Amino acid sequence: MSRNYYENGYHFLYPQIDWGGDSPGYVESEFPGYSFLVALFYKIFGVSEFIGRFLSIIFSLLTIYTLYLVVLKWIDQKTAVWTVFFFSVLPPNIFYSRTFQPESALLLSLVLGVYLFSQWTDSGKWNYFFLSAIFIALACLLKIPSFYIGLPLLYLAWQKFGGKTLTRWHLWLYGLCVTAPVALWYVHAHRLYLKSGLTFGIWGYGSDKWGNWSLVLTWKFWDKILFRNIAEDYLTWIGFILLGIGLCLKRTTRKEKVFDFWMVSLVIYFMIVAQGNFVHLYYQLPFTIPACVFLAKIYSRYWTRNIFGNKKSIWLTAGLIGMLALSAGRYHLYIQKENIQSSDVLKLAEAVQHHVKTSDLVIAVDNNDPTLLYVSHRKGWHATPEQIDDSFLAEKRRRGAKYIIGIHAIFKNAAGQNALRFLSIQYPCIFSDKKSFIFKLAGR
């Protein structure tokens, strides 16, 4: 989307993707603020994925600082230092803090919005009020499920206004300031979908990201979210045990309880956006904000620099060393996935750039993953092996498709093998390296 803004004009309201085939590629998407910001820097420095990564790192560093201020305000400095320490060393946090996606901007918007809301309830200053509304609205624009943050905000408001919370016109104005821009954008985005038929599946209730209640009621869902993702990938098991202990610690102040409501709101978010959380590890990134606070409470209360002075410090030091070691190993596995030398997709992309003209449309058999079209720098259509038959290819040829490209690893099942045999019989293969292929959709 960033590259399309740069190449096709900076029409902010009309984000474009590469998999729109012979259409302009206008797509129903979440708010493209991050993509557009990256595109603006492309205007100055040229197209480079480094820019998107660098902005993510900046947003992540600002999140760490703001989270420190939040915990400092509601608990104490020692807990704040431990919180940002844990937040900074969890392996998925490190990995996704430098990826080309808006998650870092999302976390910053959430933490900053909550912090500014707290500043407003304490001081009554309108600048905090509107700045908080702007950042919470931005979080909900970037990822619409972020409305879950309303629960901890409501708790902060109740701490200030008590039983009169729901009658305060200020809070209704705040809600309007947050929801109005979100509603305007998503109505506009849906109109783009009605015209183009292209979408990221934002409103796929019960079939894509939202409302898969049958999945929520299964053991495999909670096993994946709680144990495989949070316990193993995020907290490396040791941290998961410590989190359980931290949740049982006595709360010392009323405002400290906001993190309990924050945690509860995220569990609700897991259930509502069930399929998205089940499929994508990074969907649980917001969970690390309150989780790190509960980890920090243990160390701020019971760990001392005189490690051998008491048994609790010894055990906590051992746990910390174990967490850091396991985190390093886990992060190494994540980085291995980005090894360019072992990427069949990048090798195929180089072949596509050599054999296929920039203006030629292609069918990418990629199981709806846009990576292949992006790195090939070509426009075209997504496809799955099950779709490959005479009628599907004939229809795409009529619309201008010239080539079909793909990775053999996607064709392992019976349907995939049949599709490959069909292609090899019907169309000339102009490139094959035993891991990928390019067929020309002409000269049957």
Question: Hey, where are the domains in the chain?
Answer: 2-336, 343-440
- Please answer whether residues 380 and 17 qualify as being in contact, where contact means their C-beta atoms are separated by less than 8 angstroms: no
Reported pTM: 0.94
Q: What is the pLDDT of residue 443?
A: 57
- Please answer whether residues 53 and 226 qualify as being in contact, where contact means their C-beta atoms are separated by less than 8 angstroms: no
Taking only the tens place, the pLDDT of each residue in 217-259 is 999 999 999 999 999 999 999 999 999 999 999 998 888 999 9
- Torsion-angle region of residue 280: left (phi > 0), alpha (psi -120 to 50) or beta? beta
Three-state SS at 384? coil
CB neighbours of residue 16 within 10 Å? 25
Q: For 240-274, give one letter per residue: b (16+ CB within 10 A) or e.
A: bebbeebeeeeeeeebbebbbbbbebbeebbbbbb
Taking only the tens place, the pLDDT of each residue in 36-71 is 999 999 999 999 999 999 999 999 999 999 999 999
pLDDT score of 301 more than 80: yes
Three-state SS at 343? coil
Three-state SS at 15? coil
Q: What is the pLDDT of residue 444?
A: 53
Tell me the average pLDDT across 179-203.
95
